[in-house]
């Protein structure tokens, strides 16, 4: 029998709530479900929220009775915030998180590289935001529990899956014993140590690096702004790297590499942690400043992915699908993109808008993203934790040269997680417009935001279906375009037509009119009046026109739905 | 008796002309100066640091060279007959 802990996890800044388990005896017989999601981390909950947004109900299974232990993922990218905005929790993240846009690399007490990414006025969100994962989970959970399409079950542990024609039977254990649940689709969002992955005997492909890192959260008063601090080869930990990040509530994340041969058990002994944290504080000039430990853990850098994420009716997402190195904040930030992609693909298959092979497109797109991330992350990892003598020599040579030579300093660039462009997606429609676009966004690209007015951005208005964004003037929407959009809606395609205009007043024939007095959309997207972009439900671009051709609207939607 | 054959590895006439046109080469006096300076610098760096010193030097030279393909050819040449 599954007996999750009833004791609230310890924390010096977060008050864990212990939720009541969902017990089968308190509920009636269970009919077959559309979607069961195993795992209530960021990947699982964002998938549930996206599915619900597209009108598909799901059951979320949380093995524990509380949010996860320790801060875990703490840095969230702009694109992640845009995805969280889509599922309605971004405002809670910005209320409580710490935005930042600068990073520093320090060697021998000298700042050898500083990267500043100022916030563009066209962006709603800062390049990065720091907040502990428990808060993210709390906000996502609040959104899930407020949604009638999401059936959230605390204390429900998945134990086994049996696939049958057109579905999966999930065996679930609870504090009062097991029950089974039949579902059309089972989502494995059960994390890096995915038991579903192990039981199905699926192998991850890629590389594991030997270096082990400790992450420790301490409460300390340090007068540094919220910026990334990376210390290379310090005297107290020769050859290794230390990272520091500010978190809300006076917490600092200290992340350091262990010397070869040291075991995680040795490294996590309190006296070992204390000695190293004291040494790091001394090095930055704050030796003797009082501090208190909240949580510590270890990890090693891995660049691994499953070669496909969809296995009949079982779909892997987030860390269950791939293991990515922490450098460049790629874990949760990649999971949001996975979950967003999974949400609309699966919803459209469940609702019969797209054929089942549509799920293979999800797999292809996200495996492609993981492989790109792995290539990028491999570069950072080889610099942060050199895997061989040769790489170490080169890294050390660059550290040494960087004190005086400008040209090597860009090698410190840590290649932060960025959204993958689905440039070669089968869902893209190429209408030989490439030569008529001088700039703008390419097919498959993630969206760029545009500030239309104070506190009013383009992405506030996109999502939930396909969005055709048309740059209009006072003549309104041409009749053939109105007819084509009506037809698409009649065919059951979730679709809306947004008119962007520099002139006040609503544009007739559009579902939504967006007033853009400064022409920000046209500038950012490289279009003029009569031009248009078609955004998928994940806001990636799947078609664009310098002059919208009404006949091609239906064609591009069909292509994007594999109809 | 040793016969010396014209090896395929020998640079073709056109290639060496081409190389001369793009990359300045050392004359004997210059080569001797580089030889002595590098030897003395390796001694100065000492056995523990000479490898690091040589990698730094290679990176500085590569930057001055400004051509990853030529640098790659140099790596291949230097890896031969070790």
Residue B40 is assigned to a structural domain of this protein:
yes
pLDDT tens sequence for chain A (563 residues)? 999 999 999 999 999 999 999 999 999 999 999 999 999 999 999 999 999 999 999 999 999 999 999 999 999 999 999 999 999 999 999 999 999 999 999 999 999 999 998 889 999 999 999 999 999 999 999 999 999 999 999 999 999 999 999 999 999 999 999 999 999 999 999 999 999 999 999 999 998 887 889 999 999 999 999 999 999 999 999 988 999 999 999 999 999 999 888 999 999 999 999 999 999 999 999 999 999 999 999 988 888 999 999 999 999 999 999 998 777 788 899 999 999 999 999 999 999 999 999 999 999 999 999 999 998 888 888 888 888 899 999 999 999 999 999 999 988 887 777 889 999 999 999 887 555 677 889 999 999 999 999 999 999 999 999 999 999 998 899 999 999 999 999 999 999 999 999 998 889 999 999 999 999 999 999 999 999 999 999 999 999 999 999 999 999 999 999 99
Beta strands in A384-531 (DSSP E): 451-453, 456-457, 466-472, 495-501, 512-515
For A483, the token pair is 């007819």
Q: CA-to-CA distance for A262 and A113, rounded, in angstroms?
A: 30
- CATH class assigned to A24-89+121-204+303-374: alpha beta
Is B49 at the interface with chain A, CB within 8 A? no
Structural domains of chain B, count: 1
**Minimum-distance CB partner of B51 among A393, A401, A408:** A393
B10, pLDDT greater than 90: no
CA–CA distance, A143 with A137 (Å, rounded to integer)? 10
Model pLDDT for residues B66-80, shown as the tens digit of each residue: 999 999 999 999 999
CB contact under 8 Å between A408 and B59, yes or no, is yes
| pLDDT score, position B14 | 46
- The whole domain housing B53 covers 26-79
Q: What is the complex's ipTM, to 2 decimals?
A: 0.72
Closest listed residue to residue A79, CA positions, set A327, A323, A458, A336: A336
* Helix (H) or strand (E) run with residue B42 in it: helix B28-45
Are A222 and A252 in contact by the 8 Å Cβ rule? The answer is: yes
Would you tell me how many other CB atoms lie within 10 Å of the CB of residue A542?
A: 24
How large is the C-alpha radius of gyration of chain B? 16
Question: Would you say residue B33 lies in a domain?
Answer: yes
What is the average pLDDT value for chain B, to the nearest integer? 81
Which of B45, B51, B55 to mutate against chain A (most A CBs within 10 Å)? B55
Structural domain contains residue B53 = yes
> How close A118 comes to chain B (CA, Å)?
29
**Chain A residues closer than 8 Å to B51 by CB:** 393
Element holding B45 (H helix, E strand): helix B28-45
Interface residue B59 vs chain A (CB under 8 A): yes
**Interface mutation vs chain B, best among A397, A409, A411, most B CBs within 10 Å:** A397
Query: What's the confidence (pLDDT) of residue B20?
Result: 46
**Using a CB-CB distance cutoff of 8 angstroms, which residues of chain A are in contact with residue B59?**
394, 397-398, 401, 408
Q: What is the pLDDT of residue B23?
A: 58
Residue B70 in domain: yes
Burial of B36: CB neighbours in 10 Å, binned 0-12, 13-18, 19+: exposed
Contact flag A400-B59 (C-beta cutoff 8 Å): no
Element (H, E) at A273: helix A270-283
What are the extents of the domains in chain A? Answer: 24-89+121-204+303-374, 434-560
Residue B1 within a domain: no
User: Is the CATH number of domain A434-560 3.40.30.120?
Assistant: yes
* B51 within some domain: yes
Cα angle A401, A327, A228 (rounded to 5 degrees) comes to 70
- Domain-embedded: residue B5: no
Chain B residues inside the 8 Å CB shell of A405: 60, 63
Provide the residue count of chain A: 563
Would you say residue B2 lies in a domain? no
Q: Give the angle A21-A25-A29 at the CA atoms, nearest 5°.
A: 115
Give per-residue burial for A168-207: e unless 16+ CB within 10 Å, then b: bebebbbbeeebebbbbbbbbbbbbebbbbeeeebebebe
- Phi, psi for A304 (deg, rounded to 5): -130, 145
Residue in chain A nearest B54 by alpha carbon = A397
Q: Tell me which residue of A326, A327, A329, A330 sits closest to A383, measured CA to CA.
A: A327
Question: Which residue, among A410, A353, A415, A349, has the nearest Cα to A381 in the 3D structure?
Answer: A415
Contact A396 B60 (CB under 8 A): no
CA distances from A466 to A57, A541, B68 (A): 20, 10, 45
Residue A446 · residue A473 · CB < 8 Å:
no
The pLDDT, as a whole number, for residue B3 is: 46
- Is B59 in contact with A393 (Cβ distance < 8 A)? no
């Amino acid at each position: 029998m599954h007996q999750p802990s009833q004791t609230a996890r310890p924390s010096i800044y977060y008050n864990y709530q212990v939720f009541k388990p969902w017990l089968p005896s308190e509920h009636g017989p269970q009919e077959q479900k559309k979607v069961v999601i195993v795992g209530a981390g960021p990947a699982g909950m964002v998938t549930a929220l996206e599915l619900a947004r597209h009108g598909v109900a799901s059951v979320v299974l949380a093995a524990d009775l509380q949010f996860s232990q320790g801060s875990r993922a703490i840095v969230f990218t702009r694109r992640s915030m845009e995805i969280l905005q889509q599922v309605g929790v971004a405002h809670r993240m910005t209320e409580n998180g710490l935005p930042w846009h600068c990073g520093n690399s320090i060697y021998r007490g000298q700042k050898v590289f500083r990267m500043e990414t100022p916030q563009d006025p066209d962006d709603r969100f800062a390049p990065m935001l720091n907040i502990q994962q428990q808060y993210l989970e709390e906000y996502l959970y609040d959104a899930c529990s407020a949604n009638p399409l999401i059936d959230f079950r605390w204390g429900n542990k998945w134990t086994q899956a049996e696939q049958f024609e057109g579905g999966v039977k999930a065996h679930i254990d609870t504090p009062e014993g097991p029950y089974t649940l039949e579902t059309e689709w089972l989502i494995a969002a059960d994390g890096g140590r995915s038991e579903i992955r192990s039981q199905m005997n699926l192998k991850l492909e890629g590389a594991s690096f030997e270096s082990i890192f400790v992450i420790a959260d301490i409460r300390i008063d340090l007068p540094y702004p919220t910026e990334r601090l990376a210390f290379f080869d310090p005297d107290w930990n020769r050859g290794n790297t230390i990272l520091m990040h500010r978190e809300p509530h006076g917490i600092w994340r200290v992340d350091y590499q262990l010397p070869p041969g040291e075991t995680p058990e040795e490294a996590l002994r309190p006296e070992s942690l204390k000695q190293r944290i004291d040494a790091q504080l001394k090095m930055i000039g704050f030796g003797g400043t009082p501090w208190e430990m909240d949580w510590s853990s270890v990890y090693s850098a891995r660049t691994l992915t499953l070669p496909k994420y969809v296995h009949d009716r079982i779909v892997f997402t987030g860390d269950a699908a791939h293991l990515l190195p922490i450098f460049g904040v790629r874990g949760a930030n990649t999971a949001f993109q996975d979950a967003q992609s999974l949400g609309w693909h699966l919803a459209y298959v469940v609702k019969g808008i797209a054929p089942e092979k549509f799920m293979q497109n999800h797999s292809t797109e996200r495996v492609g993203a993981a492989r790109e991330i792995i290539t990028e992350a491999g570069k950072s990892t080889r610099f942060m934790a050199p895997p061989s003598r040769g790489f170490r020599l080169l890294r050390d040579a660059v550290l040494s040269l960087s004190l005086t030579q400008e040209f090597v300093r860009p090698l410190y660039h840590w290649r932060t997680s960025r959204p993958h462009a689905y440039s070669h997606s089968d869902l893209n429609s190429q209408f030989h417009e490439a030569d008529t676009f001088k700039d703008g966004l390419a097919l498959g690209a993630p969206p760029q935001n545009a500030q239309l007015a104070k506190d009013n951005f383009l992405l506030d208005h996109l999502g939930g279906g396909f969005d055709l964004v048309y740059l209009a003037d006072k003549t309104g929407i041409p009749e053939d375009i109105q007819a084509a959009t009506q037809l698409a809606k009649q065919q059951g395609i979730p679709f809306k037509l947004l008119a962007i205009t520099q002139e006040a007043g609503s544009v007739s024939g559009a579902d939504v009119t967006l007033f853009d007095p400064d022409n920000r959309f046209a500038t950012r997207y490289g279009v003029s009046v009569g031009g248009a972009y078609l955004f998928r439900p994940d806001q990636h671009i799947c078609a664009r026109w310098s002059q919208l051709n009404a006949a091609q609207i239906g064609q591009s939607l069909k292509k994007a739905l594999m109809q | 008796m040793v016969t010396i054959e014209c090896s395929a590895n020998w640079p073709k006439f056109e290639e060496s002309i081409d190389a001369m046109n793009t990359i300045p080469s050392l004359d004997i006096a210059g080569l001797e100066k580089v030889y002595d300076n590098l030897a003395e610098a390796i001694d100065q760096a000492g056995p523990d640091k000479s490898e690091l010193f040589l990698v730094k030097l290679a990176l500085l030279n590569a930057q001055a060279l400004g051509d990853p393909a030529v640098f790659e050819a140099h790596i291949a040449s230097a890896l031969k007959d070790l």
